[in-house]
Structure 1
């Protein structure tokens, strides 16, 4: 079917047919198209990793990533998945996910990636409450030691959270509270553009 291709060495890679099918997915591509210029501006201002993710099968699915030579090496990749409870974008998505998704994640087990990973359901519930209240999420070395994530929600025309945006940097890169307004403003800008696009598409 062309879903996979054999590499020159050992193993396989995604085939052109699979890539073609993925490119036809309207949700990810339209969101990515709307977000990309804002993500680029955020990257230019920070020189750090910038991610766009959506919730899929109780995981954070990364649909875009912008990074540079000087940015922190991270586990994320475009098309890859990471846990909701241990990432900045994941906490935003989980905080605004349907109740059944939250219940499924909180029922655990919550995987521990570092000594800082939040694996206690009650503590995670309190963190998610804070995310909903403040409009921003932080992940301090919860997936990878030395990494810090600052994330904010992206909303559609109805006000529903459909994605999350974050910046991931080294813990020595600065105070996250100072970065939060920039991330939140960028997410609001994407939300506004997404809303305008939806309005134009449905006159």
Structure 2
């Protein structure tokens, strides 16, 4: 039963935030009658909401529960002052992400701060993106276990733009550079209008637990000018986590 409940909730994605019962059944392979019953129970518990048009969407109760996850509580709380400072100084998009706990092939964004006049980006709080195509993802992959990295690179790598690096050998080279330099510049890999500068966040002096990035316009920007600020913010969060 629990597995089917998770399947129903997992049917909702950023591309499909609202679904009919038929769409949920098709996406999950669960019979329509069972989906109808499970959706009714989830609506009653606040995990789903049903709109006037009959479509379902994730409910506020589920967001409240998700906010209690240890990664959200400790990491986000201690990171926020540094994220806000970086955002205030640069007036650009600032993001904080952690690896997908399943296999690390994706990153999950815990926070995103954005200004009205900042370049538009696709990521938002709670969204996921492939690790190989994002600055935060490359940082996290660079510090993942070698076998986990090889599992990710053994799969077809999704291309978002002509600049997305999908060659495993080229990605490995980038990961080695991240470990050596302590930052990465991901140039127009998700959208052609933007690039990101990302750095690792450690638990004190221990393992890398998250990645911080700033996303700026690709045109007319020298990303290297943002490297010191991004690395300083990441180190600040690391110290806060280790205190």
Instruction: Classify the TM-score, shorter chain.
Output: over 0.9
* Residue in 1 that maps onto 2:186: 139
**Aligned ranges 1:53-72 → 2 under 5 Å:** 53-56=97-100, 57=102, 58-72=105-119
Q: Please, which moves more after superposition, 46-55 or 101-110? A: 101-110
Q: Which of 1 and 2 has higher RCO (CA within 8 Å, sep 6+)?
A: 1
Q: Match for residue 192 of structure 1?
A: 239
Q: Which runs of 5+ in 1 are unaligned?
A: 197-203
Q: How does 1:91-102 map to 2 (within 5 A)?
A: 91-102=138-149
Q: How much has 1:136 moved relative to structure 2?
A: 0.2
- The offset of 1:53, in angstroms, is 0.1
Residue-by-residue CA offset, 1:14-45 (whole Å, 9 max, x unaligned): 21221221121112221000000110010011
Tell me the distance in 2 between the aligned counterparts of 1:43 and 1:9: 39
| Map 1:1-203 → 2, pairs under 5 A | 1=42, 2-9=46-53, 11-56=55-100, 57=102, 58-196=105-243
Q: Distance in 2 between matches of 1:144 and 1:90?
A: 15
Whole-Å separation in 1 of the counterparts to 2:53 and 2:225: 46
Moved more, 87-96 or 153-162: 153-162
| 1:130 Cα deviation from its structure 2 partner | 0.1
Deviation at 1:146, TM superposition (A): 1.3
Compared CA separation, residues 6 and 162, structure 1 to 2 (3 A): same
Alignment CA distance shift 1:109-1:82 (3 Å): same
**CA shift at 1:3, angstroms?**
1.5
With normalisation by structure 1, the TM-score equals: 0.92
* Structure with a larger share of its residues in strand: 1
Following the alignment from structure 1 to structure 2, what is the Cα–Cα distance between the partners of residues 78 and 138?
21
1:109: how far off? 0.5
Give ranges in structure 2 of 5+ residues lacking alignment: 1-41
Question: What secondary structure does 2:219 align onto?
Answer: helix
Deviation at residue 158 of structure 1 after TM alignment = 4.9
Alignment RMSD (CA, Å) = 1.3
Bigger radius of gyration among the two: 2
